[in-house]
Amino acid sequence: MDFEKHYREESGRILATLIRLLGDFDLAEEMLQEAYTVALQTWPAQGIPANPPAWLVSTARHKAIDRLRREQRFAVKQVEIAKTAEVSVSPLSEFEEDMFQDDPLRLIFTCCHPALALESQVALTLRTVCGITTEEISSAFLIPPATMAQRLVRAKRKIRDAGIPYRIPAQESLASRLDAVLLVVYLIFNEGYLASKGSALIRSDLCAEAIRLARVLCQLLPQYAETQGLLGLLLLQDSRRDARTSTAGDLILLEEQDRRLWHEDQIEEGSQLTRQALRRGYTGGYALQAAIAAVHAHAKTAEETDWRQIVGLYDLLLRHQPSPIIEVNRAIAIAMAGPLETGLALLDDLERREELSEFHLLPAARADLLRRLRRIGEAEVAYRRALSLCSNEIECRFLRRRLTELGAAGVL
Amino acid sequence: MQYLLLIYDEEQVWGKMSQAEQGKMYAEYGQFGAEIKQSGNHVAGHQLQPTATATTVRLRDGKRLLTDGPFAETKEQLGGFYLVNAKDLDEAIAIAARIPSARMGSIEVRPLVVPQAPKPA
């Protein structure tokens, strides 16, 4: 049995159940580790039990009782654990099976509770729901492991000390709480898709985890079109992962990518989900962004891209979610739909917005349009401005390359 | 007249004190509390959990905005208080959001210290 694979895929929901039973994140994690240790020692010889998750839950729970008895902690909660442990048998009763199903949702909603800082929500979700180690998370976010460990400790402490309940939110708050969860999933994907710092452009592990989480959410909360929209978006963006960087690790723009390297199966699935989400009358942010990605995905060549449709989708998106960054993307789409000058004029206006003063993709976009219009001197200024704001090494290299190409045009 | 006595100190200083030193302060608080109860001055009083357990609640355009952490605005000042029972943080936040000033100011939601069962020797 591939224990590592099992751990990655199953440990999240087993942990979710243990946290409910034991009422404590740390205790649940420790006891799960001990249960896995016993499994590693005994299963190869004695065979894998019929219901491994139930076995692990049961073993971990017994170990917790042993530990609490040893430490003589006879608070009411611990006595309750002992009672339910004596009653339970393996396989789980039907009632327990139902509870078991809800536990992953309890865990996800708790990790993404809005009383926790967003960065803590992301870290805690990756650690407890996805089973990714603290070291892996800290290296993905380029943060020292000790800092990440502290972040997790504080988050769990707040859950315990401030009384954050381990619960699926009530009906009336479910939709808004789900928004918070989807945002965390989206952030995890984006961190993997386009690193905010440093030289690694893609961290495929994070993208895969985000997609897996989105799938779980679609499965567990089928009534919400938002989750379909998000999964569609992630699949469509991820479908381009093998075409986005050259072998030297350089950035390849969408219009220059080898579309044969795009994953058709993900495009198909992502498009279907997007259509479903939109058909349900939902025109929320993720489904619309997915629709835009789908238009790109269905263009056989960059020249065939239906830019007018993309502009229309950005109009809808802006109405739903006014944002200066979306306005930048819309302006680029308008430029590509033609004429370039119209889009450039919009970008010029946006340059005056204070909230975009640190956004490197704005001068980069202006630079690109100026380059196409052969306004080389202005393009150079814009590329330099973009470089001064850029923090991603791969994007910086790309911008420097463009500058060099301008110079080679002989005008600088 | 009634007065609210607000205790401010450096959390990390308290955190670095030894068990013995903290125990001594708890004893002094116990003494003080008993005295002012005796004298009829005491209405309510309790230790708060550290600011790491705080959540700040604001209501803007009908939407609930939560921030992890204590109140930290320089333009707003302490204006009132409620001490409430709530089964968990969600309920406490829901109550806080209904306070009329949540619409224009900030409500810090801080849990009280719950007396622990004595640890084994």
Query: In which region does residue B91 sit, left (phi positive, over 0), alpha (psi from -120 to 50) or beta (all else)?
Result: alpha
Helix (H) or strand (E) run with residue B59 in it:
strand B55-60
Position A405 pLDDT exceeds 70: yes
**Are the C-beta atoms of A261 and A243 separated by less than 8 Å?**
yes
Least Cα distance to A311 among A352, A354, A346, A363 occurs for: A346
Query: What's the mean pLDDT in A241-246?
Result: 86
Q: Given this model, what pLDDT does residue B121 score?
A: 43
In a domain, A296, yes or no: no
Chain B interface mutation, best of A158, A167, A183, highest count of B Cβ atoms under 10 Å: A158
- What was the pLDDT predicted at B68? 96
Query: Which stretches of chain B drop beneath a pLDDT of 50?
Result: 117-121
Which of the four pLDDT bands, split at 50, 70 and 90, describes residue A13? confident
* Residue A215 placed within a domain: no
Residue A395 CB coordination number (10 Å): 19
Whether B5 is covered by a domain: the verdict is: no
Do B55 and B82 lie in one domain? The reply is yes
Residue A289 is predicted with a pLDDT of: 95
Beta bridge partners of B60: B63
d(C-alpha A320, C-alpha A332), whole Å: 19
Asked if residue B6 is part of any domain, the answer here is: no
Per residue in A276-322, pLDDT tens? Answer: 999 987 777 999 999 999 999 999 999 999 999 999 999 999 998 89
Chain A residues within an 8 Å CB radius of B88: 163-165
Q: What is the CA radius of gyration of chain A?
A: 25
Angle between helix axes A285-297 and A225-238 (nearest 10 degrees) is 30
**For B111, which of A114, A162, A167 is closest by C-beta distance?**
A162
Q: pLDDT by residue (tens digit) across A118-127?
A: 999 999 999 9
The reply to whether B61 and B100 lie within a common domain is yes
- Least confident segment among A70-79, A162-171, A367-376: A70-79
| A253 occurs within a structural domain | no
Residue B18 lies in a domain: yes
CB contact under 8 A, B88 and A164: yes
Query: In B, which residues are within 8 Å of A175 by CB distance?
Result: none
Q: What angle do CA A201, A203, A205 make, to 5 degrees?
A: 165
Q: What are the residues whose beta carbons fall under 8 Å from the beta carbon of A97, sequence distance 6 or more?
A: none
CB contacts, 8 Å: B109 with chain A: 162
Whether A114 is covered by a domain: the verdict is no
Q: How many domains does chain B have?
A: 2
Question: Is there a contact between A115 and B88 if contact means CB atoms under 8 Å apart?
Answer: no
Please provide residue B68's backbone torsions phi and psi, each rounded to the nearest 5 degrees.
-75, 120
Residues B100 and B69 in one domain: yes
Give the C-alpha separation, A111 to B84, whole Å. 25
What pLDDT digit, counting tens, does each position of A98-124 carry? 666 789 899 999 999 999 999 999 999
CA distance A193 to chain B (A): 27
Touching B: A residues 101-160, CB under 8 Å: 114-117, 120, 154, 157-158
Give the three-class secondary structure for A211: helix
Mean residue pLDDT across chain A: 87
Matching residue, tokens 């100011």: B105
Q: Do B111 and A161 touch (CB under 8 A)?
A: yes
Identify the weakest region by mean pLDDT among A245-259, A319-333, A343-357, A378-392.
A245-259
Q: Does residue A14 have a pLDDT over 50?
A: yes
Position B54 scores a pLDDT of 97
Q: Which pair of tokens denotes residue A310?
A: 């993309």
Distance between CA atoms of residues A216 and A231, nearest Å: 10
DSSP A288-332: HHHHHHHHHHT-SSGGG--HHHHHHHHHHHHHHS--HHHHHHHHH
Q: What is the mean pLDDT of residues A225-240?
A: 95
pLDDT band for A198, please (50, 70, 90 cuts): very low
A172 has a chain B CB within 8 A of its CB: no
Nearest CA in chain A to B114: A161
Q: Which of A72, A115, A165 sits opposite B68 (nearest CB)?
A: A115
Residues B95 and B55 occupy one common structural domain: yes
Does residue A410 fall inside a structural domain? no
**Structural domain of residue B24, as residue ranges?**
11-45
Is the pLDDT at A249 greater than 90, yes or no? no
pLDDT at residue A399 is higher than 60: yes
What pLDDT, on a 0 to 100 scale, did the predictor assign at position A91? 44
Structural domains of chain A, count = 1
Residue-level pLDDT at A291: 96
Domain, as residue range, for A3: 1-94
Q: Pick from B53, B87, B120: which is nearest to A162 by CB?
A: B53
Kindly state whether residue B41 falls inside one of the protein's structural domains: yes
Could you tell me if B19 and B59 lie in one domain?
no
CB-closest option in A72, A162, A167 to B55: A162
Residue A23 and residue A91: Cα distance in Å, rounded?
22
Can you give the pLDDT at residue A202? 46
Q: Is A281 on the interface with B (CB under 8 A)?
A: no
Higher pLDDT, A195 or A70: A70
Partner residue opposite B88 with nearest CB, options A75, A117, A163:
A163
Taking a C-beta distance cutoff of 8 angstroms, is the pair A55, A16 a contact? no
B116 domain residue, yes or no: no
Q: Check whether residue B105 and residue B56 sit in a common domain.
A: yes
| A–B CB contacts, 8 A cutoff, strictly below | 48
pLDDT at A88: 44
In-domain check, residue B3:
no
| pLDDT tens figures, A52-81 | 888 999 999 999 988 888 876 655 555 555
Q: Positive or negative, the Cα torsion across A34, A36, A39, A41?
A: negative
- In the structure encoding, which two tokens stand for residue A265, read together? 């199966």
Are B58 and B103 members of one domain?
yes
Q: Which of A215, A219, A217 is nearest to A175 (CA)?
A: A217
* pLDDT band at residue A11 under the 50/70/90 scheme: confident
Residues of A in contact with B54 (CB under 8 A): 162
- CA-nearest residue to A110 within chain B is B90
Whether residue B17 sits in one domain with residue B56: no
Cα(A1)–Cα(A24) distance, integer angstroms: 29
**A170, closest residue in chain B (CA to CA):** B90
Complex ipTM tops 0.95: no
Among the partner-chain residues A72, A117, A165, the one whose CB lies closest to the CB of B89 is A165
